[in-house]
Amino acid sequence: ALTIKGELQQACQALEKSLELSPSQLDCLDFLGNLELLRGDFQAAQGHFSKLLADDPNNIEALCSIAEAEHRQYNYQEAEEYLQQAYKLAPENPLVHYSLALLYRDQSKKLDKAAKHMRKAVDLQQNNPEYQLLYGDILAQTDKESKAKEAWEKAIELDPSLADDVRSRLKKIDKT
């Protein structure tokens, strides 16, 4: 309830108290790490995800989350190392491909890699509108406007509330 109200600091404190009482609550560690990512406290987030990885080094979500913390601090090589580890463990996991696509998209010279991983994420989870949006964005950056439009239309089909967002993307393409 606290996170819905935007009271992230209080939510983090409540989860930390819960962890003090029961340190084996790994789901609390994961949730707390994600809250810290939302708050922008990447060091705290990394600490929580590191604890999850100490318990299970093959935790794909923790690997992707710690990679996100590194990515958001512009530590692209470290982020890629975590994601490559996740990829080796779960090459068919859509979250791994999505995370790799985000990382490569933000490194402009790696847009082809971003498109490849986003295509795989979309193939693995076709009904995810967020994946369709990102795929369209990456395609638009690689001058594949017609395919970008197809991905964005699919995103609207999956989630009609995205229509305005997609229209603004289409306007940007039409201006070029």
What are 129-168's pLDDT values in tens digits? 999 999 999 999 998 999 999 999 999 999 999 999 999 9
Taking 80 as the threshold, does the pLDDT of residue 27 lie above it? no
pLDDT class of 4 with cuts at 50, 70, 90: very low
Taking 70 as the threshold, does the pLDDT of residue 22 lie above it? no
Whether residue 84 contacts residue 60, with contact meaning beta carbons closer than 8 Å, is answered with: no
What are 80-117's pLDDT values in tens digits? 999 999 999 999 999 999 999 999 999 978 999 999 99
**Residue 29: its pLDDT value, please?**
79
What b/e readout covers 142-153, taking b as 16+ CB neighbours within 10 angstroms? eeeeebbbebbe
